[in-house]
Each structure stands twice: as C-alpha cells, then as structure tokens.
C-alpha cells in the first residue's frame, strides 16, 4: 500500500491481532513496512511475491529451493504458521511447520498479469474456507492465477479457464 501513505504501517498488524482475538484466521498480502509489521503479528498466512520478499526481508533468491529455504528461515524466525510466495511463471512456494510445496500451472499466453498474485490470495481464502487441503488449495490458487493472465482486466478471470488450467496444474512437495 505504498501509494496510500496515510495508512499506518501497523494497520495490518492491528487487523491480524483483532482477527486472532475473534478466533478468525487472517491472510496478509502486502509489502514493505506493512508486511513487516503484519509478519510480526503472526497472521495465519503471510503472502508476498518474490520481489516483495526481497524488498521487505532482504532475501535475494536464485532458485526456488533457495526461496523455500529463505521462507523457512523467515517462518522459523517469526514463528509464522504459513508462508506463501508467488514467483510469477515459476509458480508458488508455500510452507507451514510440517511441509513445503511448489505449485505450478502450465504457462499461458499472457495478456495482462495485473492481479495474478491477488488471485492467489483470493483462491487460498476461498478453498481453505471450504475445507480443502493445502495441496488442493494451492492447486486452485496456481490455476486461478494463471487464468488471470489471460484477460485484459486486473484480477479478472473466467471459471472455464480456471477449470481447464486446474487439470494441468501440479503441486509437489519440496
């Protein structure tokens, strides 16, 4: 939320704390000081893209394995439940205290990638709320993100594209 400078950097952290007090899960998808403050409040899911992880936490990655290792360190240092990192065409790296996954959809002819990362957050919230396993929720998230790049609108997609891509989306343990 860099363009909304009037928002306090600890706003997301305050929301995470309120959600926890109400017994509700939280997902924070942000960058910069807001992400850093939210991480310290320990949301249920901390989601960022590869660049945001580098800018916020100083993580410079070369490979997905290195990204997963850095995410594991971040998770342990901040005692986070789940860390999700979107890596563009390289897919999604996600981990919790027990497992680490890599979800990847087949490459699409991109029209507009705006909102693809937001689609990951939305799909995770919807599928996990519906009771899906993490692996299945990640598969939906990767397929939804890939479907978003097919449309000229921001974070716009069509269910027929998601369902088609879902069939070829792979989630594997790291």
Residues 141-172 have pLDDT tens digits of: 999 999 999 999 888 899 999 999 999 999 99
**Domain membership flag for residue 40:** yes
Structural domain total, the chain: 1
Tell whether 65 is covered by a domain: yes
Domain membership flag for residue 121: yes
DSSP state of 67: H
Q: Is residue 103 part of a domain?
A: yes
pTM of the model: 0.91
Spatial separation of the C-alpha atoms in residues 104 and 90, rounded to whole Å: 7
- Pairing, β 170-173 against β 92-95: unpaired
Q: What residue numbers bound the domain in which 68 lies?
A: 11-173
pLDDT in tens, 93-115: 999 989 999 999 999 999 999 99
Active-site residues: which are they?
118
Does residue 4 belong to any structural domain of this protein? no
Report yes or no on 6 lying in a domain: no
CATH code for the domain in which residue 87 is found: 3.40.1190.20
Q: Is position 1 within any domain? A: no
Beta strands in 19-165 (DSSP E): 27-29, 45-49, 82-86, 92-95, 100-104
Span 66-89, average pLDDT? 91
């Amino acid at each position: 939320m860099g363009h909304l400078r009037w928002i306090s950097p600890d706003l997301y952290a305050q929301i995470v704390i309120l959600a926890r007090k109400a017994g509700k899960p939280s997902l924070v998808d942000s960058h910069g000081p807001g992400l850093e403050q939210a991480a310290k409040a320990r949301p249920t899911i901390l989601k960022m893209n590869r660049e945001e992880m580098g800018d916020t936490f100083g993580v410079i990655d070369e490979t997905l394995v290195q990204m997963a290792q850095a995410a594991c360190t971040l998770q342990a240092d901040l005692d986070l439940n789940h860390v999700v990192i979107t890596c563009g065409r390289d897919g999604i790296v996600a981990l919790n205290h027990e497992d680490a996954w890599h979800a990847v959809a087949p490459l699409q002819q991109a029209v507009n990638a705006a909102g693809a990362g937001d689609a990951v957050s939305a799909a995770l919230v919807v599928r996990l709320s519906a009771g899906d396993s993490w692996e299945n929720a990640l598969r939906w998230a990767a397929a939804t993100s890939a479907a978003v790049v097919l449309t000229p609108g921001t974070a716009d997609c069509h269910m027929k594209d998601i369902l088609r891509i879902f069939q070829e989306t792979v989630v594997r343990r790291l």
